Amino acid sequence: MKIAYITLLGRSEWALVNTYYAVVSRGRKPDRVFIFTEETYRKKLPRVVEALKAISRAYNFTPEIETIVIPDNSFLEADRKFKILFQRLEKEGYTIGLDITSGRKALATAAVVQLREFPVDRIIYMALLDMDFPDRPYMMIPIHMQRLKNFLGDGNAPPY
């Protein structure tokens, strides 16, 4: 199975990076990673890309990583770009996983709306239960303070 991992970068780089770490540490190794963000957060992309590469290398795989920048608050543009990407991924035989943890509402909503038509097996969100730990690496946050949820799962199954 070919896996595409789509993630959304908003205010928190740590939220995106830590969720990716959690997913990868549970055995999910995507072939391709797509990071969507808005223009406001473009400057964060190089650090985030490097972090995802480092995590992937540590787990012995090297996904192709692409970034997509959307104008701020542009639901229609995001909707269009997600549709084009999801159509391409479906045609190429990918299963899609979506991480909405760090995403802003326009991006998260556009992605979820478009996913109705495509082969998605996960929509994940990692909740941080104690805001004393927002800007720390995954392994420095107590595990019981992090909840990784797959909204397409039954609530008892592992999220990834």
Domains of the chain, CATH where assigned:
3-150 (3.40.50.10770)
Write the single-letter amino acid at 102: S
Write the single-letter amino acid at 91: K
Q: Which two tokens stand for residue 107?
A: 């991006």
Give the helix/strand (H/E) hosting 7: strand 2-9
Instruction: Quick: pLDDT tens for 101-159.
Output: 988 878 888 888 888 888 788 889 886 666 666 665 555 555 656 777 787 875 444 55
Task: Give ∠ CA 95-96-98 in degrees, rounded to 5.
Answer: 160
Q: Which two tokens stand for residue 91?
A: 């045609």
- Closest to 29 measured CA to CA, from 9, 2, 50: 2
pLDDT at residue number 1? 86
Neighbours of 140 (CB within 10 A): 9
